[in-house]
Structure formats: C-alpha cells, structure tokens
C-alpha cells in the first residue's frame, strides 16, 4: 500500500489548523489560479475543502471533482462548500493510487499538501498524469520545513521542527519535498515545469500573518506532534516545551518568521 499514515491526524484541532492555513495562505499560494470556463478539474486530496473553497469561487464556470481517501474529511468538505453556496464542486472518495477515472478525463489537476505525506510521490504523480488530458496542467503546492528560519533564533525550536521532519519521514512522508517539486515533475514526464517559491514572511507589522501563519499554522503544526515526539523518545519533555515556547517567542513584537512554499505547474 502506497499511502502513508497522515502525520497530522484528523482531529478537530487539525481541521482548524488547515482552515486557518487556507485563509492566511489562499491568496499567496493559489489565489491566482483561474481555470477556464467548462474545464474539468480534479482536486486530489482535498481534505476538509479548505483549498476547494477558493479554487471553486475563483473559477465559477469550471467543474471541480474533489477527491480524498478520508470519507470523514469529505463530509466536512461537502458542508463547507454548501455553506458557501458553491455549486461547481462534486466530491468523491477515491485513492490517488487507484483512481477510478478513465485516462485523459481531466483538463487540469490540483494537488496541495498531499505529496509530502506519500511514500511514493512520483508514483502518485504518474497515476494523476494518466487521468490528465494531453496538454492539461498539473499544479502541485508543497511546503518545505527546512525553509523555516526565524528571530530570535533557537536551537530548541529547530530541534522541535527536526522532530516533525523525522516523524513524517518515519511514516514514509517527506516534509522537505518543496525543494524537490521540479525534479519530481520533470522526472514524471511533465513538460514546461515552472516552480515559483512563495515566501511567507511575518513580523508584528503584519499581525494577520503572525496569527494566521506563525502561531496558528506553523507552531500549531509542530505542537500537533508533541505526543508522538515524546513517546518515540526523540526528545525530552523539557526541551520540547522550550522549543515550543521559543517558536511562540518569534510571534512577539520584535519576532520574525520566514517560510517558503513551492508551487509547481507542469504540462502533460
Ligand atoms: C494535509 S491534507 C491537505 C488537504 C488539502 N489539500 C489542503 O491543502 O487543505 C492531506 C490530505 O490528503 C489525503 N490523502 C492522503 N493520501 C491520499 C490518497 N492516497 N488518496 C487520496 N487522498 C489522500 C488525506 O486524507 C488528507 O485529507
């Protein structure tokens, strides 16, 4: 089985984190994506629909099919889309590694924050490419935890982030995948691949970024693996708490946080 266990889990807190992340990052990461009228778009690994909302609103005349392996997440995604009055999205439970669609059936594919969780991201891309029509595009967006740097700097905070990277690697994922999107897509036969780094920068002159990204997205994500990090013995509790406190410290009035996402677009 190629799917890996999802390191962040499916908790209410994780749902809230994904929502906050989507609100804060929507414009930066995919606010510019407009799919042509009538095009069929596959969103692979839609989760609770946090990205679906912006995608569907920005391309009201495109038809989206948003899939996820988790029926529970799909239920939430359906409710979210309904609550926004959007009618151009259908949802279906499906596994990226076993897609129940004919070859060449989509004009475009969108996949965000999914490849990092998969043991075999290249195979996932090849499966997705099969159902994409020739000439269609695949957009992949991923973060890269190695791109996080901040002020005040802290070895403790860096150790906590390392725990998250190692835990994700243990479950077969790769939270440093952002820097690999170019070789991954070109290696899978996509052409004209263009990668755009998207930097998130937060200091107290941008309070919405401090709240939405430094605290509620990045630090919340690291905090989310506390139990796994402690129970695996990779770090002791005191060091962990200091690392989390130091991450929060970067959200104070003189603090700074920088992180880079990568958006890749390739053509079949
Ligand atoms: C971090 S979430 C991202 C959700 C959404 N794309 C977003 O950016 O908010 C990753 C999602 O990928 C889904 N997923 C993981 N493996 C999958 C697979 N093999 N097929 C379909 N979905 C999968 C998970 O269930 C989860 O909802």
Evaluate whether residue 20 is within a structural domain.
Answer: yes
pLDDT value at position 4? 45
Nearest CA to ligand 1 atom 27: 47
> Distance, CA 113 to ligand 1 centroid (Å)?
7
Q: What's the CA gap between 116 and 180, in Å, rounded?
A: 10
> Distance, CA 57 to ligand 1 centroid (Å)?
20
Evaluate whether residue 48 is within a structural domain.
Answer: yes
Q: What's the CA gap between 91 and 46, in Å, rounded?
A: 9
**pLDDT tens, N- to C-terminus, the chain (268 residues):** 344 455 666 667 666 666 666 677 888 898 899 999 999 999 999 999 999 999 999 999 999 999 999 999 999 999 999 999 999 999 999 999 999 999 999 999 999 999 999 999 999 999 999 999 999 999 999 999 999 999 999 999 999 999 999 999 999 999 999 999 999 999 999 999 999 999 999 999 999 999 999 999 999 999 999 999 999 999 999 999 999 999 999 999 999 999 999 999 999 9
Q: Which atom of ligand 1 is nearest to the CA of 4?
A: 16
Nearest CA to ligand 1 atom 16: 3
Structure tokens at 26: 């929507």
Q: What's the CA gap between 77 and 88, in Å, rounded?
A: 13
Q: The CATH number of the domain where 85 resides is what?
A: 3.40.50.150
Evaluate whether residue 2 is within a structural domain.
Answer: no
Q: Which residues line ligand 1 (CB under 6 A)?
A: 3, 6, 18, 22, 45-47, 50-51, 67-70, 73, 95-97, 112-114, 117
Evaluate whether residue 5 is within a structural domain.
Answer: no
pLDDT value at position 2? 43
Evaluate whether residue 247 is within a structural domain.
Answer: yes
> Distance, CA 78 to ligand 1 centroid (Å)?
15
> Distance, CA 54 to ligand 1 centroid (Å)?
17
User: What pTM does this model have?
Assistant: 0.92
Q: Which of 114, 121, 172 to mutate to test the pocket of ligand 1 (most atoms within 8 A of CB)?
A: 114
> Distance, CA 192 to ligand 1 centroid (Å)?
26
Evaluate whether residue 3 is within a structural domain.
Answer: no
Q: Which atom of ligand 1 is nearest to the CA of 111?
A: 6
Largest CA distance in the chain: 55
Q: What's the CA gap between 21 and 216, in Å, rounded?
A: 7
Supply the range of the domain harboring residue 102. Answer: 12-267
pLDDT value at position 111? 98
As for how many domains the chain has, the answer is 1
> Distance, CA 114 to ligand 1 centroid (Å)?
5
Burial environment of residue 64 by CB neighbours within 10 A (0 to 12, 13 to 18, 19 or more): buried
Evaluate whether residue 4 is within a structural domain.
Answer: no
> Distance, CA 239 to ligand 1 centroid (Å)?
31
> Distance, CA 257 to ligand 1 centroid (Å)?
26
Evaluate whether residue 255 is within a structural domain.
Answer: yes
Q: What's the CA gap between 189 and 237, in Å, rounded?
A: 46
Nearest CA to ligand 1 atom 17: 69
């Amino acid at each position: 089985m190629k799917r890996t266990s999802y390191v962040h889990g499916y908790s209410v807190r994780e749902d809230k984190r994904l929502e906050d992340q989507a609100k804060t990052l929507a414009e930066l990461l995919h606010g510019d994506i407009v799919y042509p009228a009538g095009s069929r778009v596959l969103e692979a690994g839609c989760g609770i629909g946090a990205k679906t909302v912006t995608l569907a609103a920005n391309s009201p005349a495109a038809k989206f099919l948003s899939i996820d392996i988790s029926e529970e997440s799909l239920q939430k995604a359906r409710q979210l889309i309904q609550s926004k009055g959007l009618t151009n999205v259908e949802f279906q439970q499906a596994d990226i590694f076993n897609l129940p669609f004919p070859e060449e059936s989509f004009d475009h594919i969108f996949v965000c924050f999914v490849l990092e969780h998969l043991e075999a991201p290249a195979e996932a891309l090849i499966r997705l490419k099969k159902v994409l029509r020739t000439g269609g595009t695949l957009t992949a967006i991923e973060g890269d935890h190695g791109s996080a740097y901040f002020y005040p700097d802290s070895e403790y905070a860096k150790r906590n982030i390392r725990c998250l990277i190692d835990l994700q690697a243990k479950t077969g994922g790769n939270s440093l995948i952002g820097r690999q999107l170019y070789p991954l897509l070109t290696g899978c036969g996509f052409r004209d691949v263009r990668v755009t780094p998207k930097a998130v920068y937060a200091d107290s002159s941008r309070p919405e970024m401090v709240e939405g990204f430094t605290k509620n997205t990045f630090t919340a994500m690291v905090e989310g693996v506390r139990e796994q990090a402690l129970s695996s013995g990779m770090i002791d509790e005191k060091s962990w708490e200091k690392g989390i406190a130091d991450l929060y410290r970067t959200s104070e009035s003189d603090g700074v946080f920088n992180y880079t996402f990568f958006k890749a677009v390739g053509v079949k």
